[in-house]
Structure 1
């Protein structure tokens, strides 16, 4: 029996997904502290509780939330830190939290993109666990989350970066089981790349059109374009040595028996998140924020160039996203014109 009753948990980055996780862990009586950089969100959570609107119910959970600037005032050492920040914020946030870690503390990067090494380079691979997540949620109003993926369809894959950390995986599995289903994955680095492929296919491309996945796939030729984006990313990953491994709760047999495992994973994600979900890049465009497209499609392009692999479609996604962020164009179906040759 794993006893976690006296362990302190930090959720660092309580945007939509971080808030969902924090609410569930708190409800299960874990000692959880939420840390975020949006003052209005922190204030609302402390004053009114954290509201999670799910497809079939609404939860209201009283939480302990702190502004990022209050961290220096906290006389606390954490046993587990779950990073829910954007991939490009990984290094500075990891350095920020390092002085507040217990000697055997673990940091788990519950993030998109390939952030494992960024964390382990700072705290060591013997204090880092990799994580892949399937959870769709939205945060527009402080203190109120729209969670599109219910607990029974939420999924985490966790894995160690070194052999010495494999014995710590059951601790994290137990904690994350409050939020969704959890699998321990032997090759977590390949699993992270599998998720990056799916993100490359379903985040930037649909966000640039201003549509959800459900609506976007109704566009003639869109599935063909999306699959070619995924094929580019898959080829880059395979050249790098990443393997095709199951994610999102799929089994080895399902992957091995599929003619197109990437499409299988994509369809599983679409089914689980539901018709109302809008991806994180879509949210970033709506809020005028920098997105993770450079960390996802951009990484495919960067690695492709290094290995002499053509990644023209991913490059187009990067270019259009940069124009949207610069205010030169808006998310629109018209942005699909340059892609029709691939449909």
Structure 2
């Protein structure tokens, strides 16, 4: 299968590399000049737990996707949420009427953005528990294992979605087909909507947050706000189950020593965050539905204030 990775950061590098190793034709698309330069000169370095690989994959900036590029079978969307629209505006030359998009972004509302560029029957949504990091430009740190859940937005897209599932299975990405991926997306949004923003504001890792006496109250309140909004959209979240999933990440043998991606973006790299697509999305939806979400609103405002203080780009 010919596959484009739209957003070849840490996670995009991991998925692109594993798909390449399974024999697929993979191209990477990213906006970071140093990352592009490093991969072109030295290949994509993948540092697994017990071995290292170097893959010489073609990589382009979105602006370099010009008309003479042939279309791809699948685009895996792994940009930051706020970069999704601009990315798909730029990569239209590789998208044909037969091209599918598999969206693995965190957050909410991406179906509306992608529907501007892709027919709904060609959109696949999913979530993943894989993790990845970048040790530097062109150098991905790929420890641990994970899985991917996927489902087509429109029933007519199921046949190709199952083809994608087979391709991802052969690549060792542990995919499963879901009959309710929207529930999983909301559940993961709850995890991100608590740990990402709170660890960033409190300047701590997940285990340190979990050790706080007030952690349980904060988690319960924020999950409650997510659940109230999700219910209006037909998603009934099992709040105790979601809270249990969040608390399971506190274990230092699991993800406890991990600093969430929002922390890494803002505190370490002074980059703008995806808060508007997580807590901010719940706040906005809540206003539309006349549901009060004060914790999501306040956390969104605090993160934006921190972005200003750090002059995030």
TM-score in terms of structure 2 length:
0.90
Q: Out of 43, 66, 72, which is 1:72 matched to?
A: 66
> Where does structure 1 lack aligned partners over 5 or more consecutive residues?
1-6, 245-254, 331-343
| Higher deviation after alignment, 13-22 or 49-58 | 49-58
Task: Provide the aligned C-alpha RMSD in A.
Answer: 2.3
Q: Secondary structure at the match of 1:78?
A: coil
Q: Out of 87, 99, 105, which is 1:105 matched to?
A: 99
Q: How does 1:246-285 map to 2 (within 5 A)?
A: 260-268=240-248, 274-285=255-266
Contact 2:30–2:61 (CA<8 Å) still a contact in 1?
A: yes
Contact 2:227–2:236 (CA<8 Å) still a contact in 1?
A: no
Contact 1:98–1:123 (CA<8 Å) still a contact in 2?
A: no
Change beyond 3 A, Cα 1:179–1:16: farther
Distance 1:291 1:92 in 2: 16
Change beyond 3 A, Cα 1:108–1:77: same
Contact 1:21–1:179 (CA<8 Å) still a contact in 2?
A: no
Q: How many Å apart are 1:147 and its aligned residue?
A: 3.0
Q: Out of 36, 46, 49, which is 1:42 matched to?
A: 36
Partner of 1:168: 160
Distance 2:57 2:248 in 1: 32
Q: How many Å apart are 1:176 and its aligned residue?
A: 2.5
Deviations 1:277-314 (A, max 9, x none): 22211111121111001110011111122223221111
Partner of 2:178: 185
Q: Secondary structure at the match of 2:140?
A: strand
Partner of 2:139: 144
Tell me the number of residue pairs that the alignment of Structure 1 and Structure 2 aligns. 308
Q: Secondary structure at the match of 2:292?
A: coil
Contact 1:20–1:179 (CA<8 Å) still a contact in 2?
A: no
Q: Out of 2, 6, 12, which is 1:8 matched to?
A: 2
Q: How many Å apart are 1:189 and its aligned residue?
A: 2.5
Partner of 1:19: 13
| Higher deviation after alignment, 74-83 or 269-278 | 269-278
Change beyond 3 A, Cα 1:231–1:58: farther
Distance 1:328 1:304 in 2: 29
> Where does structure 2 lack aligned partners over 5 or more consecutive residues?
none
Q: Out of 203, 208, 218, which is 1:215 matched to?
A: 208
Distance 1:276 1:51 in 2: 24
Q: How many Å apart are 1:155 and its aligned residue?
A: 1.6
Partner of 2:281: 299
Contact 1:136–1:277 (CA<8 Å) still a contact in 2?
A: no
Deviations 1:160-218 (A, max 9, x none): 11110111121121233325221211122232222211210111111112212122212
Distance 2:185 2:244 in 1: 16
Query: Does residue 236 of the first structure (1) align with residue 218 of the second (2)?
Result: no
| Higher deviation after alignment, 177-186 or 76-85 | 177-186
Q: Secondary structure at the match of 1:132?
A: strand
Partner of 2:111: 116
Q: Secondary structure at the match of 1:158?
A: strand
Partner of 2:191: 198
